[in-house]
Structure 1
Amino acid sequence: MPTHRGSILTAGLGRFAATDANAQAHFGPGAGERARELLATSVEKAKNAGFDVVTIDINPNEPGESLDRFLSTLRSGDFVGVNIGYGVRGHKEHTELFEKLLNHAWACKPGIKIMFSNGPDEVITAIKRSFPEAFAESN
């Protein structure tokens, strides 16, 4: 059984990818479901390395509510890292929300590791970059 290393909060479009034109262009008409499938693989790999991954779906059409849920979740756990997905950070129409997520995460948990994934299947890649020791031990 792997050593528990803490929790990672990952914020991405998740189910809201289905209504995001950028996500639909990348993942196709089933964008929300495809994003969840890819994320599940990353979450399982992180779990095998000793991390709990908590996911939160960010709705760009409801930024205030999304930010409130993000902060509530962050405050409620023993988080060692925050990952922001590309769907939230990679498109100019989401820049203000992206900035707020980062600034509030840092204010809420000073020193927390901030990570960026390039897609739901690459959440594990971002975790590996920030916590290489957790993966070196399993090799």
Structure 2
Amino acid sequence: MASPRKAIISSGLGQFAANDQNAMAHFGPDAAARVKAMLASSIEQANQAGFDVIAVDANPQNPEDTMKRFTKTLENREVVGVNIGFGLRGHKEHTELFEKMLNAAVAIRPGIKIMFSNGPGEVITAIRRNFPEDF
């Protein structure tokens, strides 16, 4: 019998990369499209390994909405891990939102694995690092 699929929330700037100066500087004027393509590839690799990756894009310009969507996903899905991307955690202007997300994850899902990817194409790398038994 196959082992059950593990759900992971991955949160980065995603569609909101087009509104972020740091993302635009790194990925260029089509930042959102590039981020989306890189994330899709990484998610596909995770899916093939038996993980369901739930992308919850973080909008630093609307942290209340971000937290509402993020906590709702934590509450409504049996998730084993949360990945936070570098675009969100690597820039001081996003620190408060980053902290709120981590604190919510630990409060809602005690024992959850916290992971950090270095870019949208490296979500699979963070999952492999934290769940080596699945690879």
The two structures share one fold, judged by TM-score above 0.5: yes
Gaps of 5+ in 2: none
Mapped contact 1:113–1:130 kept (Cα < 8 A): yes
In structure 2, relative to structure 1, the CA distance for the partners of 1:2 and 1:85 (3 Å cut) is farther
Inter-partner Cα distance in structure 2 for 1:48 and 1:105: 25
Structure 2 counterpart of 1:87: 87
The answer to whether 1:131 aligns with 2:131 is: yes
Structure 2 counterpart of 1:7: 7
User: One-letter code of the match for 2:12?
Assistant: G
Mapped contact 1:2–1:49 kept (Cα < 8 A): no
Structure 2 counterpart of 1:26: 26
Inter-partner Cα distance in structure 2 for 1:89 and 1:78: 24
Gaps of 5+ in 1: none
Inter-partner Cα distance in structure 1 for 2:5 and 2:65: 29
Count of residues in Structure 1 that have an aligned counterpart in Structure 2: 135
Report the CA distance between 1:3 and its aligned residue: 3.5
* Cα shift readout 1:81-123 (whole Å, capped 9, x = no counterpart): 0000111100000000000000010000000000000000000
| Runs of at least 4 residues off by over 6 Å | none
Report the CA distance between 1:5 and its aligned residue: 3.3
Report the CA distance between 1:74 and its aligned residue: 1.1
SS of alignment partner, residue 56 of structure 2? strand
Inter-partner Cα distance in structure 2 for 1:134 and 1:126: 13
Report the CA distance between 1:2 and its aligned residue: 6.3
Inter-partner Cα distance in structure 2 for 1:116 and 1:44: 18
SS of alignment partner, residue 82 of structure 1? strand
Structure 2 counterpart of 1:98: 98
TM-score, structure 2 normalization: 0.97
The answer to whether 1:71 aligns with 2:58 is: no
Structure 2 counterpart of 1:38: 38
Root-mean-square deviation (CA), in Å? Answer: 1.2
Inter-partner Cα distance in structure 2 for 1:37 and 1:108: 30
Inter-partner Cα distance in structure 2 for 1:91 and 1:16: 15
Inter-partner Cα distance in structure 2 for 1:78 and 1:90: 27
The answer to whether 1:54 aligns with 2:54 is: yes
